Amino acid sequence: MKDKRIIIFDTTLRDGEQCPGASMNLREKLEVARQLARLKVDVIEAGFPVISDGDFEAVHTIAKEIKGPVICGLARCVTKDIDAAGAALKPAGKKGRIHVFLATSKIHREFKLGKAQDEIIRLAVEGVKRAKSYVQDVEFSPEDGSRTEPEFLVQVCKAVVAAGATTVNIPDTVGWAVPEQYGALIQRLHDEVPEFRSGKAIISVHCHNDLGLAVANSLAAVRAGARQVECTLNGIGERAGNAALEEISMAIKTRSDFFGGVTCGVNTREILKSSRLVSRMSGLVVQRSKAIVGENAFAHSSGIHQDGILKKRETYEIMDPKEVGWGGTELPLTKHSGRAAVASRLKHLGFKMNEADVQAIFARFKEIGDKKKFVYDDDLAALVEGQITEVPETWSLEYLNVTSGSQTVPTATVRLKRVSKKDKGEPEVLQDAGIGDGPVDATLKAIDRLAKTRGRLMDYSLRAVSQGKDALGEVTVKVNFDGGELVTGKGASTDVIEASARAYLNAVNRFLSEGSKGQRSSQP
């Protein structure tokens, strides 16, 4: 193929966010979108506008504020979906894309839709044409494309391209494909649909990782003629996740010789920062051995490896860690650093904060500065992300005291302030105590007693944000309230019990302010 440019379509904010407990609020999504723009992805799939007011607002806000990438909204081949996507994407102008989808595989046609092949083609064409009335850039996905009969898939591709689709995505919706077979399918479509050969339309791929083959299948498709890859940061997504953006982009860059010299426009030096931001915003921890962005990705413990690295890096490293963002940390701040220094460092780190945000972050910075000698960039990023993840507060933490020991029943005394005002205009302050199996359990039970919630802790993770014994501890919790969907909470402090309390209270406030979200429709 003459075209050597691979379009990177990021769906972290749509498919990635569908992972249970990974939902983000508007501010979190907007910060991720800003970072995706700095990463220089080509397309940001910002959400599924019709499914909720929150998703509509997120797509609309990102379309209005993010410059550079194409902004995409997902829609079924249903009039109300397409109309909602068109309205949400209006601020993006010529940079807007509507992504319509409809299942095409035999099992989906028979058991989910109850429709014949000719009806599927008719609905697909109508969906593309309606989307075309809002935007010029229309993408169509035959859901479960990898399990669709190849001859029927060719018919569908020809029909939607004739109707105006400029991109046709072939999803491996259930992670069923294997590279050789999937590559052959993409090659057949490329050979049998004239518009793919002429460049009038391009083939995209969207692979799921149920068999651990999402990246391998995507790269096989690139070799076979696909010119767009749909992926997510850290590979997050439904079930086992999606193809990982960082692996796709670095494979293309590192093995350009094998992939025929194709390139993508990703600013690889922003990969690590992007990965960490998404991990914190979604509450999904990156495993240490994860390729490219894991803590151990460039670690060498073997003496032979260390010796080789010292003599010539390329002996045991196929990539320069600096190419993906690994490197030295800037000089840390101290408790004596002023507000201007903190604001300057925030700008250097790429965060866009208003005056109120900077003031709130500076106040927390001074608290942390009194407890530890140095405040590193990662500490500051954790404080910023804590500000971003804030939700309208029903309760705020006023006081916490914990008694625990091997011969003592763990007891926590908690004082919370209700943000809403009483009749006299004074904030309501409540205090109670709880006992538990340990100090964290006792603290969370006390919070439940005060907030009158019933939370079941489903996941708890603690990590040191930076170096040293006085490192800031960042806690992420996933909580099930009253049998609803998982709610994520985050909190940070040099005291891990306080960090746990702040994380749980963040989840409580999120639950009380947002309530449970409805279930999403089936998507590619």
Return the HEC string of 353-378.
CCHHHHHHHHHHHHHHHCCCCCECHH
Per-position b or e across 168-197, b if 16+ CB within 10 A of its CB: bbbbbbbbbbebeebbebbbbbbebbebbe
Q: In what order do the strands lie in the sheet with 473-481?
A: 455-464, 473-481, 486-493
Residue given tokens 């003459």 in the structure block: 2
User: In the prediction, which pLDDT does 422 show?
Assistant: 47
Residue 15 among known ligand-binding residues: yes
Q: Which amino acid is at 131?
A: A
Average pLDDT score over the chain = 90
**Mean pLDDT across the stretch 79-93?**
98
Report the predicted TM-score, pTM, of the whole model to 2 decimal places: 0.84
Q: Which residue(s) pair with 76 in the sheet?
A: 101
Residues 6 or more apart from 483 whose CB is under 8 A from it? none
Residues 6 or more apart from 78 whose CB is under 8 A from it? 50, 127
* Measured distance CA(500)–CA(518) in Å, rounded: 28
Q: How confident is the model at residue 463 (pLDDT cuts 50, 70, 90)?
A: confident
**pLDDT per residue over 124-146, tens digit each?**
999 999 999 999 999 999 999 99
**Mean pLDDT across the stretch 40-62?**
96
**Mean pLDDT across the stretch 269-293?**
91
User: In the prediction, which pLDDT does 356 show?
Assistant: 87
Residues 6 or more apart from 498 whose CB is under 8 A from it? 397, 400, 491
Above pLDDT 90, what percent of the chain? Answer: 65
Question: End-to-end distance of the chain based on CA atoms, in angstroms?
Answer: 27
Q: How confident is the model at residue 367 (pLDDT cuts 50, 70, 90)?
A: confident
* Measured distance CA(457)–CA(470) in Å, rounded: 27
Residue 206 among known ligand-binding residues: yes
Instruction: Sketch out the chain's domains with CATH numbers.
Output: 7-282 (3.20.20.70), 339-388 (no CATH), 395-514 (3.30.160.270)
Say how many C-beta atoms besides its own lie within 10 A of residue 354's C-beta.
Answer: 8
**pLDDT per residue over 187-215, tens digit each?**
999 999 999 999 999 999 999 999 999 99
**Mean pLDDT across the stretch 344-353?**
82
The residue that leads in pLDDT, 18 or 412, is 412
Please say if the pLDDT value at position 480 is more than 70: yes
**Mean pLDDT across the stretch 52-73?**
96
**pLDDT per residue over 301-346, tens digit each?**
445 444 555 566 667 678 888 899 887 556 678 888 888 888 888 8
- 422 to each of 103, 190, 417, 427, 431, how far by Cα in Å? 53, 67, 11, 6, 16
Q: Which residue(s) pair with 169 in the sheet?
A: 204
Answer for the pair 49, 72: CB distance below 8 angstroms, yes or no: no
Please say if the pLDDT value at position 149 is more than 90: yes
Q: Where are the alpha helices (DSSP H) in 370-495?
A: 377-388, 439-451
Please say if the pLDDT value at position 159 is more than 50: yes
Q: How confident is the model at residue 424 (pLDDT cuts 50, 70, 90)?
A: low
* Measured distance CA(10)–CA(419) in Å, rounded: 38
Least trusted range by pLDDT, from 109-113, 363-367, 431-435: 363-367
Helices vs strands, H then E, count in the chain: 17, 14
User: In the prediction, which pLDDT does 278 show?
Assistant: 93
* Measured distance CA(126)–CA(18) in Å, rounded: 27
Residue 42 among known ligand-binding residues: no
Please say if the pLDDT value at position 300 is more than 60: no
Question: What is the DSSP secondary structure assignment for residue 269, as one 8-state letter?
Answer: G
Q: Is 370 left (phi over 0), alpha (psi -120 to 50) or beta?
A: alpha
User: In the prediction, which pLDDT does 330 show?
Assistant: 61
**Mean pLDDT across the stretch 63-68?**
97
User: In the prediction, which pLDDT does 388 show?
Assistant: 76
Q: How confident is the model at residue 12 (pLDDT cuts 50, 70, 90)?
A: very high
* Measured distance CA(134)–CA(289) in Å, rounded: 44
Please say if the pLDDT value at position 180 is more than 50: yes
Q: Which amino acid is at 463?
A: R
Please say if the pLDDT value at position 229 is more than 90: yes
